Structure 1
């Protein structure tokens, strides 16, 4: 890739880095924020959950909006909204102000991230170039979260408001070059960045297409409502049996709205989501795999953080430094993973990533009261390596073969899956931990941690099974292609032999 291509990729990856580092810093800073503002436990929880609700509730709409309203427009607009509301959060003096700021920041990420992903899939040529760009994008996402833990710990020492102001500075640093690097007009046949600035200027001068699609407002409303209620239901899982009646009601309402959404989309002349895209087995398996893998990763990280801080008494900064090795995928994803994908294919690399994750989380199941960091290190580095192998190829598989005009939708589906995955992973381990906490004292707490650690293990085992189905489907497709190719190559010889005999 040339200089302009790398510069554009740097900006687009910067947004997913921004999103990851923002979430991680908030996770580290929330105890200090709660203490300083005198927030209740419920309000502090909503500061964290508000972002998840905004992100998960609108990411599907955000992905489709990028296709219909313009990827560049959506990217720049919502990056600006992210910047503004992150800054407003830094000036908050009441809990409700923080909740509103985090919710709107989550909504802006729901529009910004699918736009960035679809800009990559439509700006880089399909094949090795696009694959490398997506692997760098995926590695940057997890790297941002891991580095955010350390940076959040450092900034919290200076003052928790810097956790809000730091993303403002980073977003501003990305916004300025983004205005220049992202093409102003996207044509149906958008050219790759490698074709040069001169062709982009020519494309910008071309008259806009007269074909305009309508916006599916009923579909948008029912989709956002269903996603919001589903995300709320997942977040409520951590409240345990006492909150299950309300959890069940919100879950049922989410299902009803989802059914209404499907009915609307079937009748709409310009649906928000073309339901036929869900008939792609490869896309659905990739999204499910991403949901399970990300959910297990964040669920495991959440349990380990509690173990280090609550049971071992480590500070937030000590915990962050201990976990930073999990960010090794930031180095491995753009260097090792592209070579493995080129040699073995997406499906095999994804299976290897899931298999490593099973090993990593399984090694931590017998965690002891006085485990040294050396005993934890194998799990931490193997889990980071697993992320490098699985997440990037899953991103490729979730967007591969999708028409250009639906790349935003594909990105929205993938981001919806990953956000629900992270919410499910954290909520599930929290719920299991609460149910397993039947006694008091360090030994009872350790036993509850061990029980909760089974959640990420089960999730990656399920993901490994789904990935194995994809590998099997790829092998069958390759076998069919080989047979067809051999028959095609044999037919001309048979015909020439027949002509020679007749002569």
Structure 2
């Protein structure tokens, strides 16, 4: 019997839509890695109190475990796309899997916050390499039409499942040791590497593509974000008027200016500036950033509250968050049809409204939380928000962008989502010692801003529909 072969780069899968075992194996490798990338945030969230207890970290320091991964992912996502273009999908993807496995083991053995956070940043960069590359491999291997749609649906289902899986795994493993939550992805990544060696098709970068990496742009953006998070977290400790804090803020601004100047003058910038004038893309980036950032801020606060005040263990905490995470998993395969039926703008508006309503219901006083009456209603509404808006944001961000720019548009969109997560995590951690009220005020304000952006998009859609109706057939 001959061994089934994966198609060569640029050669689509069988046109009769039947997949051989090699194609199923390739899709499983890509989707399973997407699941691991997606669960990296949730496994850290549930384990935060245990990490803080073992390493002696306050909430303002503890947030680095979440925000470090988000900064590594978001700030280096566009640079990751450039590396893939110049070096090839297969070598970049496989290298990222190996580095991810090594960083996972070092995370599990870390005895200091500095080393733990450094590994989280590295793992974020690995996710910035594998997440968009997985989509590119699917696009080059599965032909456009039902075959590619099915592959993308399965890939998206694994990604949507990652957060829920992470909550459960982290809850179970942290009962024994929080270090297991960071160690368990290592053998999985190695297994995927071994399978990827056999299944990921080779590809050759276009030799005519200019060899411009734009490392200056990538490093300046990453350093600016890290300094911004550092200055915000250290402000309450040293004082926001302390020279150290002021200097960190000033240096972050200078590095951000260097990034802007580099991208404006580079012959081959990481980001096409024309995309910054694309209104649907910008609305999606801002709206999704507001939804994701406010959600992670809420989970950070609720994790600390449930475990430190309400007496929940890690396993109970993971289960407690499922009403917000599981609905997206259960509806992932149908989300595309929902967007096609109603359009992105109405769904995004409905989702932003549900999230804002959920945050408004969350108790502001500092008493002990009662899960059923205080937490569950908010989680259910936020879960509904993600069901309504998650896919709609992505469709709105990339749907009207030219095909040649969709990969970069997706990178910009994901960059905004991840950097918003990093900023909201540190702000909520800084405000948390002042009480639940200030944190919830910030989360609610961000959600309200997201709704305002959504309403602007809905008004633009209605205006366009009205103009088309007046113009007639």
* Fold shared per TM-score above 0.5: yes
Contact 2:67 2:423 in 1 (8 A): no
Correspondence for 2:182 among 160, 164, 179: 164
Residue in 2 aligned with 1:363?
Answer: 361
Residue in 1 aligned with 2:463?
Answer: 476
Q: Is 2:305 aligned against 1:307?
A: yes
> What runs of 5+ residues in structure 2 fail to find an aligned partner?
1-16
SS in 1 for 2:287: helix
Distance 1:48 1:352 in 2: 28
Correspondence for 1:70 among 85, 88, 113: 88
Q: How many residues of Structure 1 are paired with residues of Structure 2 in the alignment?
A: 450
Residue by residue over 1:399-445, the C-alpha shift from the partner in whole angstroms, topping out at 9 and shown as x without a partner, is 324445544422321222111111122222223333xx2xxxxxxxx
Residue by residue over 1:170-222, the C-alpha shift from the partner in whole angstroms, topping out at 9 and shown as x without a partner, is 22343344445544227xxxxxxxxxxxxxxxxxxxxx7452223143xx313
Shift of 1:78: 1.1
Residue in 2 aligned with 1:14?
Answer: 32
Distance 2:175 2:310 in 1: 21
Contact 1:30 1:44 in 2 (8 A): yes
SS in 1 for 2:39: helix
Counterparts in 2 of 1:12 and 1:265: CA distance versus 1, 3 Å: same
Distance 2:18 2:350 in 1: 31
Residue in 1 aligned with 2:218?
Answer: 223
Residue in 1 aligned with 2:289?
Answer: 291
Distance 1:417 1:326 in 2: 22
SS in 2 for 1:378: helix
Q: Is 2:131 aligned against 1:113?
A: yes
SS in 2 for 1:89: helix
Contact 1:222 1:258 in 2 (8 A): no
Larger CA deviation: 307-316 vs 292-301: 307-316
Residue in 2 aligned with 1:385?
Answer: 384
Shift of 1:325: 2.1
Distance 1:323 1:298 in 2: 11
Residue in 1 aligned with 2:8?
Answer: none
User: What is the aligned-residue RMSD (CA, Å)?
Assistant: 3.2
Counterparts in 2 of 1:123 and 1:259: CA distance versus 1, 3 Å: farther
Residue in 2 aligned with 1:232?
Answer: 227
Contact 1:12 1:116 in 2 (8 A): yes
SS in 1 for 2:312: coil
SS in 2 for 1:352: helix
Residue by residue over 1:378-410, the C-alpha shift from the partner in whole angstroms, topping out at 9 and shown as x without a partner, is 221221121122122212222324445544422
Residue in 1 aligned with 2:209?
Answer: 212
Residue in 2 aligned with 1:424?
Answer: 423
Residue by residue over 1:418-477, the C-alpha shift from the partner in whole angstroms, topping out at 9 and shown as x without a partner, is 11111122222223333xx2xxxxxxxxxx213311222221221111122222333333
Contact 1:13 1:140 in 2 (8 A): yes
SS in 2 for 1:420: helix
Residue in 2 aligned with 1:397?
Answer: 396
Counterparts in 2 of 1:210 and 1:305: CA distance versus 1, 3 Å: closer
Counterparts in 2 of 1:23 and 1:308: CA distance versus 1, 3 Å: same
Residue in 2 aligned with 1:414?
Answer: 413
Distance 1:344 1:33 in 2: 44
Contact 1:286 1:397 in 2 (8 A): yes
Distance 1:181 1:478 in 2: 46
Residue in 1 aligned with 2:122?
Answer: 104
Contact 2:175 2:313 in 1 (8 A): no
Contact 1:58 1:110 in 2 (8 A): yes
> What runs of 5+ residues in structure 1 fail to find an aligned partner?
187-207, 438-447, 487-503
Distance 1:485 1:10 in 2: 48
Distance 1:92 1:145 in 2: 24
Alignment of 1:132-281 (within 5 A): 140-141=158-159, 143-185=161-203, 209-217=206-214, 220-241=215-236, 242-245=238-241, 246-281=244-279
SS in 1 for 2:76: helix
Correspondence for 1:452 among 439, 453, 459: 439
TM-score (norm 2): 0.83
Distance 1:353 1:2 in 2: 37
Contact 2:354 2:381 in 1 (8 A): yes
Shift of 1:126: 7.1
Q: Is 2:79 aligned against 1:61?
A: yes
